[in-house]
Amino acid sequence: MEDIRPYLKPGVRAHLMGIGGVSMAPLAHVLLGRGLAVSGSDVRPGPAVEELQALGVPVHIGHAPENISGAALVIRTAAVHDDNPEIVAARAAGVPVFERAQAWGALMREYQSALCVAGTHGKTTTTSMCTHIALAAQADPTVMIGGSLPALGKGWRVGAGSAMVVEACEYCDSFLSFFPTVAVILNIEADHLDYFTGGLPQIQRSFRAFAELTPEDGAVVANAEDPNTMAALAGLDRPMLTFGLAAGDVTAAGLRWRNGLAGFDVRFRGETFCHVDLAVPGLHNVKNALAAAAAAIAMRWDAAAVSQGLAAFTGAGRRFERLGEVNGAAVYDDYAHHPGEIQALLTAVRPLGYERVICAFQPHTYTRTKSLFDGFVEALKLADLAVLTDIYPARETDTLGVSSAQLSAAVPGSLYCPSLSDLAAKLRELARPGDLILLVGAGDVVTVGKSLCG
Spatial contact of 240 and 219, defined as CB atoms under 8 Å apart: yes
Cα–Cα–Cα angle for 57, 63, 68, nearest 5°? 55
Query: Among candidates 155, 172, 144, 11, which has minimal Cα distance to 76?
Result: 172
Active site residue 124: yes
Q: Active-site residue among 99, 167, 170, 321?
A: 167
Helix, strand, coil percentages (3-state) for the chain, rounded to 5, are 35, 25, 40
Q: Active-site residue among 86, 123, 189, 225?
A: 123
Active site residue 429: no
Hey, how many other C-beta atoms are within 10 angstroms of the C-beta on 200?
16
> Which residues, 6+ apart, have CB-to-CB distance to 138 below 8 Å?
none
> Which residues, 6+ apart, have CB-to-CB distance to 201 below 8 Å?
none
Start-to-end CA span in the chain (Å):
49
Burial environment of residue 122 by CB neighbours within 10 A (0 to 12, 13 to 18, 19 or more)? buried
DSSP state of 307: H
Burial environment of residue 255 by CB neighbours within 10 A (0 to 12, 13 to 18, 19 or more)? middle
C-alpha span between 326 and 142 (Å, rounded):
38
> Which residues, 6+ apart, have CB-to-CB distance to 377 below 8 Å?
407, 410, 411
Burial environment of residue 325 by CB neighbours within 10 A (0 to 12, 13 to 18, 19 or more)? middle
Spatial contact of 323 and 445, defined as CB atoms under 8 Å apart: no
Active site residue 370: no
DSSP state of 282: S
C-alpha span between 377 and 148 (Å, rounded):
29
For residue 223, give the amino acid letter.
N
Which residues are bridge partners to 281 per DSSP?
261
Query: Among candidates 332, 339, 338, 340, which has minimal Cα distance to 316?
Result: 332
> Which residues, 6+ apart, have CB-to-CB distance to 420 below 8 Å?
362, 389, 444, 445, 447, 448
Provide the 3-class DSSP secondary structure of residue 114: strand
Q: Active-site residue among 124, 126, 367, 369?
A: 124
Q: Annotated catalytic sites, by residue? A: 123-124, 167
